[in-house]
Chains A and B, each alone.
Chain A
């Protein structure tokens, strides 16, 4: 029981890392972005290739994954996304499905359709004893990393000037623009940060989910569930939702392996029925 919750929390942290950027994109810019998994994949492949071909260590590779995904996100934002902030959601869906398709094809062409090889660094191998439980070091590291990112994001959003600007723009974009906030630049920076975090999550997922070119489609629903169940535009919402999804999914795989992913979809629909605007709804929606 304890180990199921622990593994579920570790998995949830991973989903949170990848999903939190999507939550901000959807909440701040009202952009229905189905291509978020692509940025996670970019980060994962960057880390994997740097480690296997350039001999980089695991921790520098994580940083590189963040940078690579953020760069790709910045370029795509500049080229495509910024033109569609006010467009119909259908256009946004089509654009992001297009990006997903192109990225899957390009990564298959460049790296082949098989799963990327990955070996954990020696520090994170094996298990440690924690309060009577034998837990994997890698999962423990993931939980610590997720908690650190959560704390940093909450501090940045709650205490800094940039965070205040983001909160203002999420609550009311027009008024925020009227007070002199450069909303377009804010979007750009936030989108880039969200993509970087997704890249970090993608790199961390190498040892847990495995990485292959179909990653953006395979886990698309999971990222969307985290955002929708949690409530778009918040940080704590996706965090709570990601932990719930992680625990439900892992528990399902332990106790009801024949149900497969079925449980998680039922969970999502039930949650959307109970709380249509998410666990932590944005101000002005509830």
Chain B
């Protein structure tokens, strides 16, 4: 038996703050890797958004890149055609993906797991094919180029070293994360957790299960759209790979690595995944795929939970009121 560490709720909050300070501190500690760190933050937010749908609401989806890509192309096309104000670009992506997610949720929520899987994969590959075919607008396989993103707040211009990009990404990701945290800890979030644990009982206590799931899916889609828009604005480029099955599988791997159904699972998973990926950047992509596959098989056979699952077995939080 390994010893478990007992943490009080206050200390847990300190650990939470420390994680964010450490992420912010990479601005000074890793000035050469700011682009990588921005991507870590963005993929963390994307994984957190997937966790809302998959881990909390329990909607089996392997097509979340549809929203990530839709957000990226929204922000990208706005900036390409003369409106490069970053925050309104994010807002446009958020609104569009929320509407798209809410419309799709009617299809997604009512079916069985298999039907959900099909609809989500289907919509994702459909959008990818659409982007590929409309190459006059989206740039097709070459990606969307020529984005002009205006300075943040009219003050900070996006520079070559990614300083502004990192600061901007950090602030937006933190704000979105706090919003997600607030929503998940609200009565709405508790209802989601209840539906995840026992749908029948929640129906029996009179919770409008389908409406709650639809809201969760739309919210999750909106957050994914913001993550995509952030990536587009900070890199000033939208590649066709931001939408499609492989990106969806990648974010699923990030989430599983971190741990599903936990607030920080997506964030921690993104930190580990992106750093390891960067470490082995020279490796042949085929071998990278091989080890990812081995990791997935091992993760399933040895038990789910990811990094946060391992942590939660080592660290217990004292229950309040004792």
Decide: A98 and B119 in contact? CB cutoff 8 A.
no
| Residues 278-301 of chain B, each 1 if its beta carbon lies under 8 Å from chain A, else 0 | 000000001101101111110111
Decide: A265 and B122 in contact? CB cutoff 8 A.
yes
Q: How many residues of B contact A (CB 8 A)?
A: 41
Decide: B121 and A269 in contact? CB cutoff 8 A.
no
Decide: B300 and A94 in contact? CB cutoff 8 A.
yes
Say yes or no for A262: interface residue by CB 8 A criterion. Answer: yes
Decide: A262 and B286 in contact? CB cutoff 8 A.
no
Decide: A269 and B286 in contact? CB cutoff 8 A.
no
Complex partner residue of A98 from B117, B123, B246, B295, CB under 8 angstroms: B295
User: Given A262-B130, A276-B111, are A221 and B297 also a contact pair (CB < 8 Å)?
Assistant: no
Decide: B115 and A95 in contact? CB cutoff 8 A.
no
Considering the complex, give the chain B residue whose CB is closest to the CB of A263.
B129
Decide: B117 and A95 in contact? CB cutoff 8 A.
no
| Residues 252-263 of chain B, each 1 if its beta carbon lies under 8 Å from chain A, else 0 | 100010001000
On chain B, the residues within 8 Å of A89 by CB distance are 60, 113-114, 117
Most chain A C-beta atoms within 10 Å of own C-beta, residue among B107, B289, B292: B289
Complex partner residue of B121 from A94, A98, A101, A224, CB under 8 angstroms: A224
On chain A, the residues within 8 Å of B256 by CB distance are 94
Subset of 26 A-B contacts with CB under 8 Å: A32-B114, A80-B297, A89-B114, A90-B260, A91-B300, A93-B60, A95-B296, A98-B300, A101-B293, A105-B286, A105-B290, A217-B245, A217-B246, A221-B121, A221-B122, A221-B125, A225-B122, A228-B115, A232-B114, A262-B129, A265-B122, A265-B125, A265-B126, A265-B129, A268-B122, A272-B119
Segment 62-112 of A: residues with Cβ below 8 Å from B: 80, 83-84, 87-91, 93-95, 97-106, 108-109
User: Given A80-B297, A260-B129, are A269 and B123 also a contact pair (CB < 8 Å)?
Assistant: yes
Decide: A268 and B118 in contact? CB cutoff 8 A.
yes
In the docked arrangement, what's the CA distance between A108 and B293, Å? 14
| Chain B residues close to A by CB (< 8 Å) | 54, 60, 62, 107, 110-111, 113-115, 117-119, 121-123, 125-126, 129-130, 132-133, 245-246, 249, 252, 256, 260, 286-287, 289-290, 292-297, 299-301, 304
On chain A, the residues within 8 Å of B297 by CB distance are 80, 95, 98-99, 102
Q: How many residues of A contact B (CB 8 A)?
A: 46
On chain A, the residues within 8 Å of B115 by CB distance are 228, 272, 276
On chain B, the residues within 8 Å of A83 by CB distance are 301
Say yes or no for A123: interface residue by CB 8 A criterion. Answer: no
| Residues 220-235 of chain A, each 1 if its beta carbon lies under 8 Å from chain B, else 0 | 1100110010001000
Decide: A269 and B60 in contact? CB cutoff 8 A.
no
On chain A, the residues within 8 Å of B54 by CB distance are 90
In the docked arrangement, what's the CA distance between A225 and B115, Å? 10
Segment 234-278 of A: residues with Cβ below 8 Å from B: 258-262, 265-266, 268-269, 272-273, 276
In the docked arrangement, what's the CA distance between A91 and B123, Å? 22
Complex partner residue of A269 from B122, B133, B295, CB under 8 angstroms: B122
In the docked arrangement, what's the CA distance between A89 and B120, Å? 15
In the docked arrangement, what's the CA distance between A96 and B118, Å? 15
On chain A, the residues within 8 Å of B286 by CB distance are 104-105, 108-109, 113
In the docked arrangement, what's the CA distance between A80 and B54, Å? 23
CB distance from B228 to the nearest CB of A (A): 20
In the docked arrangement, what's the CA distance between A221 and B300, Å? 23
CB distance from A67 to the nearest CB of B (A): 25
User: Given A90-B60, A228-B114, are A80 and B249 also a contact pair (CB < 8 Å)?
Assistant: no
CB distance from B102 to the nearest CB of A (A): 16
Considering the complex, give the chain B residue whose CB is closest to the CB of A91.
B300
Considering the complex, give the chain A residue whose CB is closest to the CB of B126.
A265
Considering the complex, give the chain A residue whose CB is closest to the CB of B260.
A90
On chain A, the residues within 8 Å of B260 by CB distance are 90
In the docked arrangement, what's the CA distance between A103 and B113, Å? 25
Considering the complex, give the chain A residue whose CB is closest to the CB of B125.
A221
What are the 7 closest A-B residue pairs judged by CB atoms, nearest first? A98-B296, A101-B293, A105-B290, A102-B293, A98-B297, A265-B126, A98-B293
Say yes or no for A42: interface residue by CB 8 A criterion. Answer: no
Say yes or no for A26: interface residue by CB 8 A criterion. Answer: yes
